[in-house]
Amino acid sequence: MGADGIVGVDLLRSQRVQFDFEKQTMSIVPSAMPDFGYEPGTIVVRAKRKNGRLVVTDAIANGERLTVVLDTGSQVSVGNQALRRRLLGGDSLIDVDKSVVLESVTGQKVVGDYMMVREMTIGGIGLTNLAVVFSDVHTFKQLGLDKKPALLLGMNAIRAFKRVSIDFANKKFRVVLPERSEVDVRLASRDGS
């Protein structure tokens, strides 16, 4: 995009973005370099690449299947209206009755509804009480995800981990679970519980 501090996904094709939230560092390294070593609480989730972004299709929110797009450029996770419709009813969403305005890096403003999703599983990673803004932002249409349940997993979820590695070339999302976090994260069992 040519703006200071913005790295487009097109530049990350053969790279790995690494976050170490304990040391408060972020680095971009070639995917060929060794990833951080294994330690207890490490989970690796396989992804697909679509339009340069990593997409995880092995995801469930409150029993409903969805597609998750890793989005380090977003401060908050954003769900589309198709996901919201699927989760409405029962106690799947905690409605905090709050509208918010999101602003893109290009200055475009979008209004959305701020809510909490009770439970979400992405690969083997479980998240509880995840803050999500529901809005049909352009990215969903761009990726062909505007009609089916989808979520842009933003930094509010990603920073809940101890360390994160997003490997674009090898299509892997690797996390190390923290001992404690503001967002409840855990190793999820394969049956969704």
Say which amino acid occupies 183.
V
* Residue 2 clears pLDDT 50, i.e. is over it: no
For 80-126, how does the pLDDT look when each residue is reduced to its tens digit (9 = 90+)?
999 999 988 665 566 666 877 877 666 778 888 888 898 999 998 99
* Residue 188 clears pLDDT 60, i.e. is over it: no
For 116-149, how does the pLDDT look when each residue is reduced to its tens digit (9 = 90+)?
898 999 998 999 889 999 999 989 999 999 999 9
pTM of the entire predicted model: 0.83
Cα–Cα distance measured from residue 31 to residue 13, given in angstroms and rounded to the nearest whole number: 9
**Could you tell me the CATH superfamily of domain 43-160+170-187?**
Acid Proteases (2.40.70.10)
List the domain boundaries for the chain: 43-160+170-187
